[in-house]
Amino acid sequence: MKIVELDGYAANPGDLSYSAFEELGEFVVYPRTAPDEVVERAKDADIILVNKVIIDENVINSLPKLKYIGVMATGYNVVDLEAASRRGIVVTNIPAYSTASVAQMTFALILSITNRVDHYASKNRNGRWSYNQDFCYWDSPLHELMGKTIGIVGLGNIGMHVAAIAKDFGMDVFAYTSKNSADLPAGIQKTTLDGLFAVSDVLTLHCPLTEKTKNMINADTLAKMRDGAILINTGRGPLVDEYAVAQALHEGKLAGYGADVMNEEPPSADNPLFAEPNAFITPHIAWATVEARSRLLEIAAGNIKAFLDGKPVNVVNNILLR
Among candidate residues 37, 57, 144, 265, the one labeled active-site is 265
Going from the C-alpha of 223 to that of each of 183, 226, 244, the distances in angstroms are 31, 8, 10
Alpha-carbon torsion, ordered 190, 191, 192, 195, to 10 deg: -150
Q: Is residue 206 flagged as an active site residue?
A: no
Q: Is 236 a catalytic residue?
A: yes
- Out of 26, 41, 284, 298, pick the active-site residue: 284
- Catalytic residue from among 116, 236, 293, 295: 236
According to the 3-state scheme, what is the secondary structure of the chain?
CEEEECCCCCCCCCCCCCHHHHCCCEEEECCCCCHHHHHHHHCCCCEEEECCCCECHHHHHCCCCCCEEEECCCCCCCECHHHHHHCCCEEECCCCCCHHHHHHHHHHHHHHHHHCHHHHHHHHHCCCHHHCCCCCCCCCCCCCCCCCEEEEECCCHHHHHHHHHHHHCCCEEEEECCCCHHHCCCCEEECCHHHHHHHCCEEEECCCCCCCCCCCECHHHHHCCCCCEEEEECCCHHHECHHHHHHHHHHCCEEEEEECCCCCCCCCCCCHHHHCCCEEECCCCCCCCHHHHHHHHHHHHHHHHHHHCCCCCCECCCCCCC
For this structure, is 57 an active site residue?
Answer: no
Give the active site residues: 236, 265, 284
